[in-house]
Structure 1
Amino acid sequence: MGHVISTGLELVATTSSTRLNERLASAVKRTVELANSQDISPREKLHVKAMELFSHGNFPKACEMWEDILVDHPTDMLALKFAHDSYFYMGAQIQMRDSVARVLPHWKPHIPLASYLKGQYSFGLLETHFYDQAEKVAMEGLALTPDDAWSVHSVAHIYEMKAEVDKGLKFMEGREKDWQTADMLASHNYWHWALYFIEKGQYEAALQIYDSQVFRRCKATGSMLDTVDACSMLYRLEMEGVCVKDRWRELLQVTQPHTDDHVTLFNDLHFLMVSLGAKENGSSKRLLEGLQELAKEPGDNHQLQLAEPVGVPMCQAMMEYDQGNYNRAVELLYPLRYRMVDIGGSDAQRDLFNQLLIHAAMKSENKHHQKLGRCLLVERDATRPDSPLTHRLLKRALALHN
């Protein structure tokens, strides 16, 4: 199980591809060989099989293996966490919620890590829009474990999705001392904090967090979560009209080595943001062409099966937008708006692509697109009442087209 844990954690981090990383591919192979040569339990066999399936990109089948484990061993945190992360990568929000709900009654208060399930369950609840229940569960988790960065993260999402910006700012500041030392989530929580400032149009405050926390930690850790957060933050700021040119060049040094990874579409789209922002046309072209080639290959890689219908046109839309071809960007993005969930990530993270579609529609010369942009903003206002960003964009749209 030591091999399953160490190799599985590296795989689920999505920082490396077994197609390119021979050491990681060998570690997977060695784990499978060891399992086949020893008399191990059915539970251990399922863990090994799930890890092997995940390494081949077959996330749905891997989740089936982990769920089989949880039927008989509902307090197996490794199976629960790996399934949770994999559902997240697939945008399988309901499955992510229900996977935790099924095992919750078995986690008695005396069991180690029991309080952390509150944060996990809260995240599934908020991603399926049960915001009030999600907040209640997360607060229960924090009452038990004040330094649970995952529960803090869940509450940050809730305030983001409800556009309760001032509430979010107060919450993050009040809890900072508890979560800022959490290696895996500190940078992501700072990213959430910065999103509130972007929402309010306080760009300098957001940039201060980017420079002092998000990019600094991303550069130091190489963590994929830290990296995609840095990418999306600059992209959001640039769409808002903030000049981040030099920061793109710095971030390119982190993302460029991952251009050929193609572990998840979500990661690919964020790497493309950086190569476009840094005007590194060669990397942008290579990323798109590599994805197009891999999409043609047979196999059970879940992400690559989505590349042709979803990933490639989303990349193309971003490239068209970067070239000022806003009409074409809208034509590519709009038909995909209800399929974007399949690239994985959270609603808050994918909102960047909703914003991209709105900006493209507003800037398009096509009158129908301009009306569409206003319709999308009205729709956004209905789900996030009193969002400063939405109201700012509505005013801009009216000023542009009146």
Structure 2
Amino acid sequence: MQTDEHGLPTGAGGPAAVRHYDAAIHALLHFRAEVDAETSAALREDPGFPLANVLSAYLGLLTTEKEDARTARKGFRKFRARVDASRLLPRERAHIEAVERLLDGDLLTCGARLARISEEHPRDALALIVGHQIDFFTGDARSLRDRIGGALSAWHEDDRHYGHLLGMYAFGLEESGHYDRSEEVGLRAVEINPKDVWAIHAVVHTYEMQGRFREGIAYLDARLDDWSTGTLFNVHNWWHYALYALEAGDTARALEIYDDVLHGPDARETALEMLDASALLWRLLLEDDDQTARWAALADAWAPKAREPFYAFNDMHAVMSYVGAGRITEAEKLIASRESYVASERPGVTNHAMTARVGLPVCRALVAFRRGDHGRVVELLYPIRHRVNECGGSHAQRDAVQRTLLESAIRGGRFDLARLLVSERINVRPGSPFNWLKHAAVAEGLGDRAAAAAARAAQCQLRKS
């Protein structure tokens, strides 16, 4: 029986199919486009190769786009129609069950099935990386950490992908608030494999969450050739660079990155990349920086992606683009569509609950913000501020929602609430100039001019240092 490079048996028809499968997993761990070509090559060698069919389905389902999911569903059904599952290996059957739950929109059960595979086969790299992404899409920080941490003891320093496991673990540690350990593990992962863009991303997140923007810029500059081109993930890491630029007060540099990378002429216009474009421009909108032309182009790109409900996190960022472009009617149309969706019965569909509990309140709040109804924004966002993670993404990505709540609290005269929110932020990230700028605004609102002046001085000093 053929085995993959991690020593696990496969039902592949020959060694060539397995070589392509191993190459596909390697490319996937590097977020390289070659993953598609290698998966297709494995299927050409053996159209009935179970794990290659499973991998192909996962790739289509994890783009968070409805059309890709339709294509994946169609292809996987053809495979299932011609395979006798009873003749497959137990691990292959378990992956098929996980894919089927994902096809049904049940991310949580899919994640649980993958966790069971990892429990029994901790060296199954496919189960680990797909499970890690499911945890990310559902905002489950503990699983982001423990799914990988629970498998690490079965891996060794001389495994080709050991460093990639460390990179995933570092991200889980960061999302769980273990910043010192995350930095240590992430740096070790990059030391093992300098091209591990997910590990670089984990280190960058750690610096972001501590307000260490100068170190973040220096780290990304030093490793520019390792992360900035050649992967499907370079756009997101450029987004992090743009966030650092905003903290440094360099809006021009952030917009240069936007135009060159996030949503420039060569943009691929995938939902996962347009999220970053929306999130960057929304931070500027909150500071009354008018980017109407950029918003208009982005809203045009979001329109075909947001016609149907599929992933609430995408909906939120599509609404940001409509609001930013002044196309409130389109934002309201999307909201009405999701209200109808939530009113229907969708048992087991994870996005249904995401939309009801988080997606819709956030979308409504974004429209209310544009209308200047800051009391309504607070009414919508304050009750859900500790469960925004349920719609997926990272702490850094979801901060756009938290900033919206804070800004409306300030503009709506809710200074006691704003003081609380700013105090929370500063005591987690005292090195963030943005936090001190907002502390100054709150202090002014409370009539404490001395505190406002001190906060502004702290903000200036942090940007100069």
Gaps of 5+ in 2: 1-50, 448-465
Size of the aligned set, in residue pairs, is 396
> Structure 2 vs 1, CA of residues 75 and 252 (structure 1 numbering), >3 Å: closer, same or farther?
same
Does residue 268 (structure 1) correspond to residue 318 (structure 2)? The answer is no
1:267 offset after TM fit, Å? 1.1
Does residue 16 (structure 1) correspond to residue 66 (structure 2)? The answer is yes
CA–CA distance in structure 2, aligned partners of residues 392 and 71 of structure 1: 47
1:36 offset after TM fit, Å? 4.1
Q: Counterpart in 2 of 1:392?
A: 437
Tell me the secondary structure at the aligned position of residue 421 of structure 2. helix
Q: Counterpart in 2 of 1:7?
A: 57
Gaps of 5+ in 1: none
Answer whether contact 1:4 1:31 (CA < 8 A) is retained: no
Q: How do 1:239-278 residues align onto structure 2 when only pairs under 5 Å count?
A: 239-278=286-325
Answer whether contact 2:328 2:367 (CA < 8 A) is retained: no
1:400 offset after TM fit, Å? 4.8
CA–CA distance in structure 2, aligned partners of residues 320 and 311 of structure 1: 14
1:109 offset after TM fit, Å? 2.6
Does residue 222 (structure 1) correspond to residue 272 (structure 2)? The answer is no
Answer whether contact 2:426 2:435 (CA < 8 A) is retained: yes
Tell me the secondary structure at the aligned position of residue 162 of structure 2. coil
Normalised by the size of structure 2, how large is the TM-score?
0.82
> Structure 2 vs 1, CA of residues 331 and 281 (structure 1 numbering), >3 Å: closer, same or farther?
same
Bigger relative contact order, structure 1 or 2 (CA pairs below 8 A, ≥6 apart): 1
CA–CA distance in structure 2, aligned partners of residues 226 and 310 of structure 1: 21
Answer whether contact 2:228 2:234 (CA < 8 A) is retained: yes
Does residue 193 (structure 1) correspond to residue 238 (structure 2)? The answer is no
Q: Counterpart in 1 of 2:35?
A: none
Does residue 238 (structure 1) correspond to residue 238 (structure 2)? The answer is no
Answer whether contact 1:89 1:345 (CA < 8 A) is retained: yes
Q: Counterpart in 2 of 1:123?
A: 171
1:251 offset after TM fit, Å? 1.0
CA–CA distance in structure 2, aligned partners of residues 283 and 355 of structure 1: 23
CA–CA distance in structure 1, aligned partners of residues 354 and 360 of structure 2: 9
1:279 offset after TM fit, Å? 1.9
CA–CA distance in structure 2, aligned partners of residues 240 and 8 of structure 1: 39
Q: Counterpart in 1 of 2:411?
A: 363
Q: Counterpart in 1 of 2:161?
A: 113
Answer whether contact 1:231 1:273 (CA < 8 A) is retained: yes
> Structure 2 vs 1, CA of residues 37 and 61 (structure 1 numbering), >3 Å: closer, same or farther?
closer
CA–CA distance in structure 2, aligned partners of residues 317 and 72 of structure 1: 44
Q: Counterpart in 1 of 2:334?
A: 287
Moved more, 259-268 or 166-175: 259-268
Answer whether contact 1:32 1:52 (CA < 8 A) is retained: no
Normalised by the size of structure 1, how large is the TM-score?
0.94
- Structure 1: which amino acid aligns with 2:391? I
CA–CA distance in structure 2, aligned partners of residues 252 and 315 of structure 1: 15
Q: Counterpart in 1 of 2:145?
A: 97
Larger radius of gyration: 2
Answer whether contact 1:119 1:154 (CA < 8 A) is retained: yes
1:37 offset after TM fit, Å? 6.0
CA–CA distance in structure 2, aligned partners of residues 391 and 127 of structure 1: 23
Answer whether contact 1:28 1:55 (CA < 8 A) is retained: no
- Structure 2: which amino acid aligns with 1:39? R
Identical counterparts, % of pairs = 30
CA–CA distance in structure 1, aligned partners of residues 84 and 371 of structure 2: 53
RMSD: 1.7
- Structure 1: which amino acid aligns with 2:101? L
- Structure 2: which amino acid aligns with 1:178? D
Tell me the secondary structure at the aligned position of residue 221 of structure 1. coil
1:32 offset after TM fit, Å? 3.0
